[in-house]
Structure 1
């Protein structure tokens, strides 16, 4: 499990009981709106917006929820 990802990195995460795969779209380091919700993030506690390979939708995850693919 990595703690830092870059835009374009291919990652996996658990989604509804199965493993999803996708690409990091951006690292979020401040409070913002992303993927239809308010994201609370900071430089010390970043989150990542990822785009699913299967659905094409975006989601936001903390680094601990993502693994390198």
Structure 2
């Protein structure tokens, strides 16, 4: 299991557009449909809903790709 994050944590990750940063707005521990795809989540492998600092775009990512900022 990767590092645990929580709502309000500031994180960064790599995307096809480069490095992006944002704030976690929700932690999903059960499967959730998002943008036409089912994202598989469990309490041991959650997905984090993150609002981008720059664009306010919302994305879902696993903790393994996130890095805490600050």
- The TM-score bracket by the shorter chain reads 0.7 to 0.9
Q: Separation in 2 of the partners of 1:38 and 1:30?
A: 10
Report the RMSD for the aligned CA atoms in angstroms: 1.4
2 CA distance for matches of 1:15 and 1:22? 12
- Structure 1: 4+ residue segments shifted above 3 A: none
Matches within 5 A, 1:1-69: 3-16=3-16, 18-34=18-34, 36=35, 37-69=37-69
Structure 2: any 5+ residue segments left out of the alignment? none
Number of aligned positions between the proteins = 67
> Secondary structure at the residue paired with 2:45?
coil
| TM-score calculated relative to the size of structure 1 | 0.87
Q: Distance in 2 between matches of 1:47 and 1:3?
A: 12
Alpha-carbon displacement from aligned partner over 1:33-52 (angstroms, at most 9, x marks no partner):
23x23211011111101010
